[in-house]
């Protein structure tokens, strides 16, 4: 988030070294930040004449940005075969009509009944973005933040109809641009009373939603599970994570991490999107230990089973 804000600041204030550094470091931190310089390029093309293309300091800065990114593009290309498998969900038109609201409140689909709400919120945001563009004095500046909202979403959601790529937390800078546009929309309203009423309403809504929402998709309390498992665990017993998604938590909370394994009866490769670089093949087991040794199997929902293999 810091790099995306720094990049926006560098572009708006024409501080090109800051923009270059923020774009490059942000991209190396997370590949989805590539859409910020793309949005900057789209905004520049819309608001400038092409005849100044090669003389403009922004274009030279953007070229330097992508030049410094080349090594990471090469690395991504080398890893492309491993990136064919992921957990992303495909896009649909329900996402299209709700995506602006989803980004604004951080909604990822849980609980399910918020989809209609975020679609209406998206309509409200579209109207407010229109208000933000009305003042001619600040239109070009505000158009940049509009580009940061729509260019990444159009590209990522559009591609996600064919190859799932959309994860809203990977595009968190879109929400930042939405907040800027909301502030500019309030600033564009001529009536001070309406300004204050709208600002207070959004402030109250944001605080209330963020107090209510976390409990609706709370994380499984694996720590509590391990408090019980650690008390029952015998000297010769082992802990088996039933899924890669609970392996690292199992390693963290187990009283003896050396006895934690991933149950992998099909000998499948560890998913790259979970963190395969941290997992040695010795952590995987295809079979449970034989009785009297026991295996405590930890599931994603926080439950656990005690099992073992019977001796032949």
- More confident site: 210 or 47: 210
- More confident site: 166 or 124: 124
CA dist 104 and 172 (Å) reads: 9
Contact indicator for 246, 298 with CB cutoff of 8 Å? yes
Cα 242 to Cα 239, 273, 274, 277, distances in angstroms: 9, 17, 14, 19
The per-residue pLDDT for range 159-208, each reduced to its tens digit, is 888 888 888 888 999 999 999 999 999 999 999 999 999 999 999 999 99
What residues have CB less than 8 Å from 149, skipping those under 6 apart? 100, 103, 129, 174, 177, 178, 181
What is the pLDDT, as a whole number, of residue 275?
Answer: 67
Across 13-22, 141-150, 154-163, least confident range: 154-163
Does 263 have pLDDT greater than 60? yes
Compute and round to an integer the Cα radius of gyration of the chain.
Answer: 25
* 39-48, 143-152, 302-311: range with highest mean pLDDT: 143-152
Mean pLDDT of 101-107: 94
Token pair listed for 166: 């959309």
Does 45 have pLDDT greater than 80? yes
Q: What is the mean pLDDT of the chain?
A: 87
According to DSSP, the residues that pair with 306 across neighbouring strands are: 296
- Read off the pLDDT band of 122 (50, 70, 90): very high
Mean pLDDT of 138-148: 94
Q: Is 296 helix (H, G, I), strand (E, B) or coil?
A: strand
The closest of 158, 155, 296, 140 to 231, measured between CA atoms, is 296
How does 206-239 read in b/e, with b if 16+ C-beta sit within 10 Å? eeebeeeeeeeeeeeebeebbeebeeebeeebbb
């Amino acid at each position: 988030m810091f790099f995306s804000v720094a990049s926006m600041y560098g572009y708006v204030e024409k501080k090109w070294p800051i923009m270059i550094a923020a774009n490059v470091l942000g991209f190396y931190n997370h590949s989805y930040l590539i859409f910020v310089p793309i949005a900057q390029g789209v905004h520049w093309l819309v608001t400038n004449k092409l005849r100044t293309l090669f003389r403009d300091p922004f274009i030279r800065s953007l070229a330097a940005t992508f030049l410094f990114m080349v090594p990471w593009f090469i690395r991504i290309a080398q890893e492309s075969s491993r990136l064919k498998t992921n957990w992303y969900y495909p896009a649909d038109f329900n996402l299209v009509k709700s995506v602006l609201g989803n980004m604004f409140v951080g909604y990822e689909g849980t609980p399910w009944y918020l989809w209609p709400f975020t679609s209406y919120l998206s309509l409200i945001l579209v109207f407010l973005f229109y208000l933000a563009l009305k003042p001619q004095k600040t239109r070009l500046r505000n158009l940049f933040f509009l580009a940061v909202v729509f260019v990444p979403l159009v590209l990522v959601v559009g591609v996600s109809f064919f190859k799932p790529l959309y994860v809203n937390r990977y595009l968190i800078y879109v929400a930042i641009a939405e907040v800027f546009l909301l502030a500019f929309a309030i600033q564009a309203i001529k009536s001070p009373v309406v300004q204050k009423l709208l600002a207070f309403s959004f402030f109250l809504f944001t605080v209330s939603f963020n107090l209510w929402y976390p409990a609706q998709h709370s994380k499984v309390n694996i720590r509590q599970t391990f408090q019980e498992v650690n008390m029952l665990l015998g000297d010769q017993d082992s802990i088996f994570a039933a899924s890669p998604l609970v392996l690292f938590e199992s390693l963290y909370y187990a009283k003896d991490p050396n006895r934690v394994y991933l149950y992998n009866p099909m000998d499948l490769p560890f998913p790259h999107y979970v963190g395969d670089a941290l997992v040695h093949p010795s952590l995987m087991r295809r079979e449970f230990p034989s009785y009297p040794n026991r295996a405590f199997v930890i599931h994603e929902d926080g439950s656990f089973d005690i099992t073992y293999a019977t001796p032949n």
